[in-house]
Amino acid sequence: MILKQEQYYINYLNPEYNINPIADPRLNSKHSKETKVTLSEVNKGENNPFYGQTYTPKTKAKIREVYKIKKKFDPF
């Protein structure tokens, strides 16, 4: 339903900067190796959005619980 509506507006508005003229999530598309390297370099050190930040012990405990649950249901 949402994709139908999105496609309608893409067709109706014909946006200039939309690189994908078809309403389809990027689930099956992948970045090239060059793009991955570039993104990795750009986000190193002080450019990393998480640079200088740490998780609180409470947040770490929540993350651990989530991974325990995922591991419990993960068949691999």
pLDDT in tens, 29-63: 788 999 999 999 999 999 998 999 999 999 999 99
Burial 27-64, CB ≥16 within 10 A → b, else e: eeeeeeeeeeeeeeeeeeeeeeeeeeeeeeeeeeeeee
Residue 22: the pLDDT is: 82
Residue 27: the pLDDT is: 65
Does 45 or 20 have the greater pLDDT score?
45
Does 39 or 74 have the greater pLDDT score?
39
pTM of the model: 0.42
* Average confidence (pLDDT) over 11-24: 82
